[in-house]
A and B are shown apart, each in its own frame.
Chain A
Amino acid sequence: MTTFAILLGPPLLAAMLATAMKPYRRIVGWVNALLSLGSLGAAVALWRHILAGEVLTSGPLEFLRADALSTLLAFCVSVVGALAAWLGPGMGGDDGYTAREARRFRIFANLFTFTMLFAVTSNNVGFMWIAIEATTITSAMLIPLHVTKASVEASWKYILIGSIGIALAFGGTVLGYFDFVSLAGRHETALNWTVLMASAPRLHGPVIQLAFVFILIGYGTKAGLAPMHTWLPDAHSEAPAPLSAMMSGVLLAVALYAVIRWEAVVNAAVGTGFTDGLFITLGVLSIVIAAFSLVVQRNYKRMLAYSSIEHTGLICVGLALGPLGTFASMLHLLNHTLAKSMMFFLAGRVLHRYRTTEIAGVSGLLTTMPWTGGLFAAGMLAVIGLPPFGLFMSEFALFRAGFAAGRPWLMGLVLALLTVAFVSMIGHLNRMLYGAPAAGTAVGEGSAWPLVPLGACMAALVVLGLTLPAPVQALLDGIVEIVGR
């Protein structure tokens, strides 16, 4: 109980504090930052329980539950939540936000973190749905933090497409519940994932398959899977940097988490063939669209957004490649969270200095901001999958799983698409790093301390690129066992 309280409590407290303090004061930001470490500590504690072979549950009817899959996601969410709390608006200094905007950010970003943490620790798939729907609402409120034509457009597309998607996921949840009720009668605990899982082998095939189609389209919309991805580049590019980092780093992962929960049920009911086919179709489509959109990209935040679609597609393909593929996918999810949230924060720093999101408007990044530019370059190399960074390892593992699963053609296609993405992103990166900075661009880092936590992300990526630490391995093994193949 206490672990869950320390995990879920801090963002809620911080949001209440920010609501209570009007006008906004800097102390709110600092308290928020310290509180965010509480969630992070609780996530680590959950991880230790997993390593000790325990699954923590809490509340009436096992309301909250943290198995290996939940723990990985809780860890990712609390890391990015902490980054957003430390590097978000309203910590003092000139960060380009007014006090009102900072207050709004602190309220909704913390609620956003809370809803994500709740989504991944709720055992009840109904509450998981409610929490994920609430992530749309809380995050949408932050996209038009500065009201401009572009941000209004992005927020409208996001709330509309996101809400519709999530409504369809509700339809899928109802159909899954329908299947269970037709089998076992109405139950207080019938929406508990553990109960669904236990009765999965007796579920009625065609119905649970229909339910999964709804679930995949629904949550897939939030995860940024093509062809439902159209909101994603707009929202990620127009949102303030800390929100982009949270959305790209973990919101997509949380949506995938929901899909994986249901995937486990469906696989237990009808075997893996059905979900594999769907995952490969949508995953490859996402990679195709992302790769070719990267070629024509002129905006660096949109470039990062399309790269997120590409990686979501990769994770999806990995889920269809048996136990090895699931392992690689989950490792990739962790790597992507670290890399992409760091990149969006760095992009925020670049935007703050150059006042433009156009790639063409940014030149000489290494001259104007050597540390930011250096980290940005390294992060970009990590994102496109070069060694010695974690994403190289997970992509490598994914390809190995693909060949082991007897899908060489699929892997060849994916590899070709990754090459397209690779070449175009290297080109964009070159244009930003070198050349003469535009006249009047200030030189120097400005406030340098935000680079410390971002550098820590980078260090973690390098560690994951060189070795697979035993706790990570054990956690991922636990997930593979849950998804069960």
Chain B
Amino acid sequence: MESLFSQLCVLGSSLALITGLILLWRRGVQAYITAFRWQSWAITAVTLIVAYFGDDHELYWVAAALFVLKVMVIPRLLTRMAHRFAAERELEPYVNTATSLVVAGLLVLFGYTITRPLVALSQLPTRAGMPLAMGLVLVSLFVVISRKKALTQVIGFLMLENGLALLAVLGTYGIPLIVELGVFLDVLMGFLVMQIFVYHIHETFESIDVEQLNRLRH
């Protein structure tokens, strides 16, 4: 039983990481949104698994919030934005695909290195997934830094949040529910403000390429 639980967690975390990697080799925004939706599914599933096997009822609420917010609401809003900017594909990122994938591999390894003390300390059957969650955090960070379209950066940021949510569930069976709900509220508000700003960028610069955001220097 214990090992099934543990394996399911690793499987879910791996799926979350792999969907994160899709941002590095696909070009179209629609593919990114699909990847984000699948990733949110994976994280919701992991939360449900932990709730069931770990016998923690609070986590069912967290899973429900995850589902509503990250599987339904945010992807839908993203799709609406993507229709507006359908022509804007991530054609020339700052770092090309091959290099990006190599970097991502190194980042996942780095994730394993820095989470070693965590895995050593934890007694939970979920602990094996933590390095993967950390890997997702680092890869998403790299996406935000190396991609040029504002929308890609937003999705990278959302995936970073997903990685942290995964880390919290795997490491501690979730932070206290009331704090968790506050975090969800912040994520939603932050996303909405980012959405407004993407529209601002599009209105003032007639594109969402952040490369043109270079007036302010020194």
Asked whether any CB of chain B lies closer than 8 Å to the CB of A470, the reply is: no
Q: A154-B216, A159-B194, A170-B183 are in contact. Are A178 and B204 (CB under 8 A)?
A: no
B194 engages A126 (CB within 8 Å): no
Q: Which of A85-93, A233-241, A442-450 contacts B (4 or more CB under 8 A)?
A: A233-241
Asked whether any CB of chain B lies closer than 8 Å to the CB of A31, the reply is: no
B218 engages A191 (CB within 8 Å): no
A191 engages B117 (CB within 8 Å): no
A170 engages B200 (CB within 8 Å): no
Closest to B218 in A: A296
List residues 173-193 of chain A with CB under 8 A from any CB of chain B.
173-175, 177-179, 181-182, 186, 188, 190-191
Asked whether any CB of chain B lies closer than 8 Å to the CB of A148, the reply is: yes
* A 216-247 to B, binary, CB cutoff 8 A, 1 in contact else 0: 00000000000000000110011000000000
**Told that A149-B215, A297-B218 touch, could you supply 19 new A-B pairs with CB distance under 8 A?**
A130-B179, A130-B183, A130-B186, A137-B186, A137-B193, A141-B193, A147-B204, A148-B204, A153-B216, A154-B216, A164-B160, A173-B175, A178-B118, A178-B172, A181-B171, A186-B172, A191-B176, A296-B218, A298-B218
B161 engages A150 (CB within 8 Å): no
Give the contacting residue for B172; candidates A155, A156, A174, A234; CB below 8 A.
A174
A134 to chain B, nearest CB (A): 6
Q: A170-B164, A171-B167 are in contact. Are A134 and B172 (CB under 8 A)?
A: no
Asked whether any CB of chain A lies closer than 8 Å to the CB of B189, the reply is: yes
Q: A149-B205, A156-B210 are in contact. Are A174 and B218 (CB under 8 A)?
A: no
| A234–B186 CA distance with the chains assembled, in angstroms | 24
B160 contacts across to A, CB distance below 8 A: 164, 167
Asked whether any CB of chain B lies closer than 8 Å to the CB of A332, the reply is: no
Q: A150-B215, A160-B194, A167-B164 are in contact. Are A178 and B182 (CB under 8 A)?
A: no
B195 to chain A, nearest CB (A): 10
A394 contacts across to B, CB distance below 8 A: none
Give the contacting residue for B122; candidates A140, A182, A297; CB below 8 A.
A182
5 example contacts (A-B, Cβ-Cβ < 8 A) are as follows A133-B183, A141-B193, A157-B213, A164-B141, A204-B117
* B 167-187 to A, binary, CB cutoff 8 A, 1 in contact else 0: 110011101100100110110
List residues 130-176 of chain B with CB under 8 A from any CB of chain A.
137, 141, 144, 150, 153, 157, 160-161, 164, 167-168, 171-173, 175-176
Asked whether any CB of chain A lies closer than 8 Å to the CB of B107, the reply is: no
B168 contacts across to A, CB distance below 8 A: 174, 177
Question: Which residues of B does A touch, CB under 8 Å?
Answer: 114, 117-118, 121-123, 137, 141, 144, 150, 153, 157, 160-161, 164, 167-168, 171-173, 175-176, 179, 182-183, 185-186, 189-190, 193-194, 196-197, 200-201, 203-205, 210, 213-216, 218
A174 contacts across to B, CB distance below 8 A: 164, 167-168, 171-172, 175
A136 engages B190 (CB within 8 Å): yes
Closest to B123 in A: A182
| A238–B217 CA distance with the chains assembled, in angstroms | 12
List residues 275-307 of chain A with CB under 8 A from any CB of chain B.
293, 296-298, 302
A133 contacts across to B, CB distance below 8 A: 183, 186, 190
B150 contacts across to A, CB distance below 8 A: 156
Asked whether any CB of chain B lies closer than 8 Å to the CB of A124, the reply is: yes
A179 contacts across to B, CB distance below 8 A: 121
| A230–B190 CA distance with the chains assembled, in angstroms | 20
Q: A164-B144, A188-B176, A237-B216 are in contact. Are A175 and B118 (CB under 8 A)?
A: yes
Give the contacting residue for A159; candidates B137, B193, B215; CB below 8 A.
B193
Q: A134-B189, A207-B118, A238-B216 are in contact. Are A156 and B183 (CB under 8 A)?
A: no
Best-surrounded residue of A136, A182, A297, A302 (most CB of chain B within 10 A): A182
8 smallest CB-CB distances across A and B, nearest first, come from: A126-B179, A206-B117, A130-B182, A153-B213, A178-B171, A234-B216, A133-B186, A174-B168
Give the contacting residue for B157; candidates A126, A127, A164, A171; CB below 8 A.
A164
Asked whether any CB of chain B lies closer than 8 Å to the CB of A456, the reply is: no
Asked whether any CB of chain B lies closer than 8 Å to the CB of A416, the reply is: no
A159 contacts across to B, CB distance below 8 A: 190, 193-194, 197
B200 engages A147 (CB within 8 Å): yes
Closest to A174 in B: B168
Asked whether any CB of chain B lies closer than 8 Å to the CB of A57, the reply is: no
| A173–B144 CA distance with the chains assembled, in angstroms | 22
| A174–B161 CA distance with the chains assembled, in angstroms | 12
Q: A126-B182, A167-B164 are in contact. Are A302 and B172 (CB under 8 A)?
A: no
Asked whether any CB of chain B lies closer than 8 Å to the CB of A163, the reply is: yes
B210 to chain A, nearest CB (A): 7
Asked whether any CB of chain B lies closer than 8 Å to the CB of A144, the reply is: yes
A9 to chain B, nearest CB (A): 19
| A220–B207 CA distance with the chains assembled, in angstroms | 31
B218 engages A204 (CB within 8 Å): no
Best-surrounded residue of B153, B157, B218 (most CB of chain A within 10 A): B218
Asked whether any CB of chain B lies closer than 8 Å to the CB of A210, the reply is: yes
Q: A126-B175, A126-B182, A160-B157 are in contact. Are A152 and B200 (CB under 8 A)?
A: yes
B114 contacts across to A, CB distance below 8 A: 210
A141 contacts across to B, CB distance below 8 A: 193, 196
B172 engages A181 (CB within 8 Å): yes
B174 to chain A, nearest CB (A): 9
B216 contacts across to A, CB distance below 8 A: 150, 153-154, 157, 233-234, 237-238
A291 to chain B, nearest CB (A): 13
Closest to A162 in B: B190
| A149–B200 CA distance with the chains assembled, in angstroms | 9
B190 contacts across to A, CB distance below 8 A: 133, 136-137, 159, 163
B218 to chain A, nearest CB (A): 6
Q: A147-B204, A152-B201, A233-B216 are in contact. Are A190 and B186 (CB under 8 A)?
A: no
B117 contacts across to A, CB distance below 8 A: 204, 206-207, 210
A43 to chain B, nearest CB (A): 24
Closest to B214 in A: A153
| A124–B175 CA distance with the chains assembled, in angstroms | 12
Give the contacting residue for A207; candidates B121, B157, B204; CB below 8 A.
B121
Give the contacting residue for B197; candidates A134, A155, A296; CB below 8 A.
A155
A187 to chain B, nearest CB (A): 8
Best-surrounded residue of A134, A167, A302 (most CB of chain B within 10 A): A167
| A166–B47 CA distance with the chains assembled, in angstroms | 23
